[in-house]
Structure 1
Amino acid sequence: MTQQEFWNKKFSKEGFFYGENANSFLKANENLLKDSKKLLFLGEGEGRNAIYFALNNSFDIEAIDASNIGLEKLQNRAKDLKLNNILTTCMDLNEWNPTKKYDAILFSYLHMHEDDRDKLFKNIEDSLNTNGYFIAEVFSKKQIDYSSGGPKDLTLLYDENDFLNRFSNSKKVKISEEIVSLQEGNGHQGKACVIRVIIQKK
């Protein structure tokens, strides 16, 4: 099953699988982006994060996801909210070869296989402007013991070294494994073990 087929199956159901509210960690660090203009959201699915930041700020926003169904939901909701500052691209992130620079790159719960992270994280770091931020929340490998969501495949889960051992041209502001309570639609509900990341390009 391709990434598009997998996520289209999840997003084809009525409503928003992970709800309409942005991820709480991304929201909590909105203040870091006060001088930012161009934002990129990776693995953005149905668009809850991109729409929140588009509604509350004057950002130029791009969103990439493998699911055309998820992005159609994003576009339809943006249209209903009269937002015209979100550009979407349907693409498997393994095929992402960025040509633009961004002031911030964000994602929540992007399930990238561990063998593919070198390329992804290099692309992220290379695509950030000087002093730009990479902000993310992902499931820790310890999430395997929780039933609040996420894959049951350790190769799709993360540990702190995934971030500590990469991003050599950046400052690791925060890389922290934490226990949190998730309330994100039907997809993420309950106690979870996550890794929260804030990295700033030097």
Structure 2
Amino acid sequence: MTQQEFWNKKFSKKGFLYGEDANSFLKANENLLKNSKDLLFLGEGEGRNAIYFALNEAFNIESIDASNIGLEKLQNRANTLGMNNISTTCLDLNEWAPTKKYDAILFSYLHMHNKHRDLLFEKIEDSLHKNGYLIAEVFSKKQINYSSGGPKDLTLLYEESDFLNRFNNSKKIKVSEEIVNLQEGNGHQGKACVIRVIIQKK
């Protein structure tokens, strides 16, 4: 099953699988972006994070996801809200070939296989302007013990070292494994073990 087939199946159901509210960690760090303009959201699915940040009309928002159904939901919601500062690209991130730089790159619960992280994280770092931010929340490998969401495949879960041992041209402001209580639609509910990341390009 391709990434598109997998996520289209999840997003084809009525409503928003992970709710309409942005991830709380991304929202809590919006203040870091007060001097930013161009934001990129990776694995953005149905668009809850992109929509939230697009409410700030100073931002130009780009979103990439493998699911055309998820991105259609994003675009339809943006149109309903009268937003014209969001663009979408339907693409498997393994095929992403960046062509520009961003002030910030953000994602929540991006399930990237561990063997593909070197290349993806290199692309992310290269795509940030100087002083640009990566802000992300992902599931820790310890999430395998919780039933609040996320894959049951350790190769799709993360350790702090996944971030600490990469991004060598950046400052690791925060790389922290934490227990949180998720309330994100039907897809993420309850106690979870996550890794929260803030990295700034030097």
TM-score bin (small chain): over 0.9
Q: Quote the Cα distance in structure 1 between the aligned partners of 2:48 and 2:19.
A: 7
CA apart distance, 1:58? 1.5
Aligned to 1:48: 48
The reply to whether residue 118 of structure 1 matches residue 118 of structure 2 is yes
TM-score (structure 1 length as normaliser): 0.99
Gaps of 5+ in 2: none
**CA–CA distance in structure 1, aligned partners of residues 82 and 104 of structure 2:** 23
Please give the alpha-carbon distance, in whole angstroms, between the structure 2 residues aligned to 1:139 and 1:131. Answer: 26
% identical aligned pairs:
84
1:147-176: per-residue Cα shift (whole Å, max 9, x none)? 000000000000000000000000000000
Aligned partners of 1:100, 1:74: CA distance in 2, in Å? 22
Equivalences for 1:13-32 in 2 at 5 Å? 13-32=13-32
1:56 Cα offset (Å): 3.0
Whole-Å separation in 1 of the counterparts to 2:88 and 2:16:
17
SS of residue paired to 1:35: coil
Alpha-carbon separation, structure 1, partners of 2:58 and 2:182: 28
Residue aligning to 1:68:
68
Alignment match, 1:102:
102
Name the CA distance, whole Å, in 2 between partners of 1:30 and 1:168: 24
1:30-68 CA-partner distances (Å, limit 9, x unpaired): 000000000000000000000000013420010000000
1:157 aligns with 2:134: no
In structure 2, distance between residues paired with 1:104 and 1:148: 28
3-state DSSP of counterpart to 1:94: helix
Q: Hey, what's the Cα distance between the residues in 2 that align with 1:35 and 1:173?
A: 18
Residue pair 2:65, 2:93 contacting (<8 A) in 1 also: yes
Q: TM-score, normalised by structure 2?
A: 0.99
8 Å contact from structure 2 (residues 57, 85) kept in 1? no
Counterpart in the other structure of 2:178: 178
Offset, 1:108: 0.1
2: CA distance, partners of 1:58 / 1:99: 21
Give the CA RMSD over aligned residues: 0.4
**3-state DSSP of counterpart to 1:56:** coil
AA of the residue aligned to 1:93: L
**Structure 1: gaps spanning 5 or more residues:** none
Which secondary structure does the structure 1 equivalent of 2:112 belong to?
A: coil
In 2, Cα distance between equivalents of 1:40 and 1:158: 21
Letter in structure 1 aligned against 2:149: G
Q: How many residues matched?
A: 202
Superposition misfits of 4+ residues, deviation over 4 angstroms: none
